[in-house]
Amino acid sequence: MRPRPRFGGRAGRAASLFLALFALLPVSGAESADAERGKALYRDCKRCHQVGSGAEHRIGPHLNDLFGRAAASSPDYRYSPAMREAGDGGLVWTAATLDAFLADPRAVVPHTRMSFAGMAGPDDRAELVAWLRGFTGGGSGLPPAEPTATPEEFGLDPGVLAIPGDPEYGAYLAGECTTCHRADGAVEGIPSIVGWPVSDFVLALQAYKHGKRVHPAMQLVAGRLSDEEIAALAAHFEVAEFEP
């Protein structure tokens, strides 16, 4: 049996208290959270934090793969002593602890250098947390996406399916996809998309793009792609080799 961590200092004691309290409580509004509205609420965060493809540490650390991560655990970011102490004390970022931190950062991590007074509305916090959850791969807790409708059910313009895709351009664009989707053909958590028929690939991404298929992370990615870029990705992944 592993020894229980010792919580030293004010930040460590605060982390211990919040871990004990919020592990027992549901996050207000979490089940009905509107992740797309969370994207709009993120405007209060983006001055300091990046998230998504190509995100880097800026004034604050990037927020990719945040859920399930211990506080102050990204090895290439210079955290404040208070945040390091909270992480050493056992603070792990979950929907509950993020909700508490967004409500009152200094109550959870005393002396944090984050210059954010807090987000008062519990529904706002739940929606922001739901949107951020889409940037944690694997065990993020996101539900599976709804099945894609047929072209007829979707009402997709046949001309969109007929756009010729450039596989070389698709290979250039594919890096954003393979940060999450496995290139070896295995299906563990997030499915592989290697070898998909072009029509199925295009239909799936167009369904995400137009809100016919619901998944916050995929809707965000597909919404940034043009029809030609979707066709190029489809052409690339149809012929891509499985990578070990």
For 12-41, write each residue's pLDDT tens digit. 555 544 444 443 344 444 444 577 788 899
CATH topology of domain 151-239: Cytochrome Bc1 Complex; Chain D, domain 2 (1.10.760)
Q: What is the pLDDT of residue 75?
A: 87
For 40-56, write each residue's pLDDT tens digit. 999 889 888 999 888 88
- The Cβ of residue 175 has, within 10 Å, a number of other Cβ atoms equal to 10
DSSP letters for 34-98 = -HHHHHHHGGGTTTT---STT---SSS---TT-TTPBTT--TTS---HHHHHHHHTT-B--HHHH
Give dist(CA 216, CA 208) in Å, integer: 9
CA distances from 160 to 97, 138, 220, 226, 236 (A): 44, 31, 20, 11, 17
**Nearest CA-CA partner of 190 in 144, 159, 130, 150:** 144
Residues 6 or more apart from 117 whose CB is under 8 A from it?
Answer: none
Could you give the 3-state DSSP secondary structure of residue 190? Answer: strand
Q: What is the pLDDT of residue 184?
A: 67
Domain-wise residue ranges, the chain:
9-133, 151-239
CATH 3.40.50.300 fits 9-133, yes or no: no
